Amino acid sequence: MSLRYPGGSIADRIDVIDTVGVARKPLRLADWAPVQPLSFGLHEYGDFVGQIGARAWLVLNVIDADGKAPADVLAERNARGLRSLLARQAVTHVELGNEPYMPRHGLNGEAYGRRLLPTLRRLERDFPGIRPVVAALGFTRVHLVAEEFNRGLVEAIGNADVDFALHFYYDGPPGGPPVERALRTLCERVEQLRALTGRPPVVWVTEHGRWPGGSVGDDGWRELWPNTYNMGAALSVAEFIIGASQIPEVHGVLLHSLGSPNGPWPMFHRGEHADDLFPSATLLAQSVLYPLAQGRVSRTLTSRVAHGGVRQLRAAFVVGDDGGLGLAVVHRGTQAAAAVVQVPELAGQEVAYRARAVVAMHLEAFNTASARRAVRVVPLQGSVRFDEGGRATLPLPAQAVVFYAFDAVER
């Protein structure tokens, strides 16, 4: 598991070295957040990563949205910050900027490439064991065409050996198209990067989530934030994860925020006290789907049953390191259903299964301090018989994210 820090728009406006020490200068952490010192700084992050056995993924500032420092000055600051973290914790990946294509930065792909190049060269020279990750553009924006941005970026860095980061927000206009389109665009970007670089790209989705609706700064935008962490968001996040997991060039999918009690996209909510944390619906969905990150995901065909233009079902089989078979499913149907699955290797077998399902009474439900199980995980178990064609019928709860783990009881 990788934990990305500091993540989000904050990474394009601060130097991580400024989050170290006792006297920390006030920083603006996001467009909607007040100016304040960052109490969870670089060293606290490194210690936390070590405590939970995660991997450190650092985002460095190559843009400097507020100060516009020269690129070579940023490269020196970035090297200092990286060395400070490495003194406490190993780092696997360094992401060079967060969203350089945002209008406020005024950068096209070529200009972004020039901005990041001094830091990239410093990484190649002084930190050769750390993978650099650069930000490619997913959806075409009003002011930038994705294909042109990505071409300019690759050319500006001389087709360097880098990984690529993509961000996708979906399912909430005007900020997000349907999940189906997001996944289709992800496939298109993979193929474009393959053509531009002449090699299979290594792609990471380092941010994704359900857009709440409206635009940042609109009156009432905060009231829409529950759309990023309710049961409807859990279904959309699960559908994107299941779809992206079946694209071989996508090596990982990271959710936007670990904890954001005063913002959208949280994985945790906070009660009355600072240490009183409980999971959001999207975290529960990710926890149920975590086996997808621990095994070999197989490309899985599903029926394109749709209602109102929205796909009702998406699924992926995964084979674990121990050889066990699992099935991840997101089901948007409003009624419980029976899903027919086909696994030729299990033909003629009686198979027991254990499952975990994320469920709620309605799609607008989300967990609060007074209703911490409005969205919850429930266990399911049973057995099914696969016929001679390898087909069996599984029960599907309504509007749920489910992971089935199968045990073959006849060999």
CB 313 within 8 A of CB 339: yes
The average pLDDT across 21-47 equals 81
Whichever domain contains 51, its CATH number is 3.20.20.80
Q: Provide φ and ψ at 376, rounded to 5°.
A: -145, 165
Q: What is the pLDDT of residue 14?
A: 85
What predicted TM-score, i.e. pTM, was given to this entire model? 0.94
Q: What is the pLDDT of residue 35?
A: 79
408 pLDDT above the threshold of 70? no
Band of residue 411 on the pLDDT scale cut at 50, 70, 90: very low
The average pLDDT across 292-308 equals 77
Residues 274, 363 within the same domain = no
Whichever domain contains 388, its CATH number is 2.60.40.1180
Q: What is the pLDDT of residue 176?
A: 83
363 pLDDT above the threshold of 80? yes
Can you list the pairs that 178-183 forms with residues at least 24 positions away whose Cβ atoms lie under 8 Å?
178/309, 178/310, 179/236, 179/239, 179/240, 179/243, 179/311, 180/311, 182/138, 182/139, 182/208, 182/240, 183/240, 183/243, 183/244
Band of residue 53 on the pLDDT scale cut at 50, 70, 90: very high
Closest CA to 376 of 404, 356, 394: 356
Residues 303, 284 within the same domain = no
Q: What is the pLDDT of residue 15?
A: 86
Residues 285, 351 within the same domain = no
The average pLDDT across 253-262 equals 73
Residues 216, 261 within the same domain = yes
- What digits encode the pLDDT tens for the residues 215-252? 887 889 889 999 999 999 999 999 999 999 999 999 99
Closest CA to 58 of 115, 117, 17: 17
Residues 262, 307 within the same domain = no
Mean pLDDT, the chain, rounded, equals 91
Residues 38, 107 within the same domain = yes
Determine which of 2-16, 151-165, 365-379 has the lowest per-residue pLDDT on average.
2-16
Determine which of 111-120, 266-275, 279-288 has the lowest per-residue pLDDT on average.
266-275
Per the structure, the count of domains in the chain is: 2
Residues 28, 154 within the same domain = yes
- What digits encode the pLDDT tens for the residues 83-114? 999 999 999 999 999 999 999 899 999 999 99
The average pLDDT across 316-340 equals 90
- Select from 278, 296, 314 the last residue of a domain: 296
- What digits encode the pLDDT tens for the residues 36-52? 778 889 999 999 999 99
Domain that holds residue 393: 297-408
Helices 109-126, 146-156: axis angle to 10 degrees equals: 40
Return d(Cα 389, Cα 80) in angstroms, integer. 61
Residues 261, 232 within the same domain = yes
Residue 270 has which token pair? 């906070």
Stated as kind and residue range, the H or E segment containing 121 is: helix 109-126
Return d(Cα 137, Cα 270) in angstroms, integer. 33
370 pLDDT above the threshold of 90? yes
Return d(Cα 117, Cα 100) in angstroms, integer. 14
The average pLDDT across 361-387 equals 96
The average pLDDT across 57-78 equals 92
- What digits encode the pLDDT tens for the residues 216-225? 878 898 899 9
- Select from 279, 296, 313 the last residue of a domain: 296
Residues 257, 372 within the same domain = no
Residues 290, 378 within the same domain = no
Residues 267, 374 within the same domain = no
Q: What is the pLDDT of residue 68?
A: 81
308 pLDDT above the threshold of 60? no
- Select from 251, 273, 296 the last residue of a domain: 296
Residues 257, 381 within the same domain = no
Q: What is the pLDDT of residue 22?
A: 82
Band of residue 118 on the pLDDT scale cut at 50, 70, 90: very high
* SS3 call for 285: helix
Return d(Cα 30, Cα 338) in angstroms, integer. 44
The average pLDDT across 355-362 equals 97
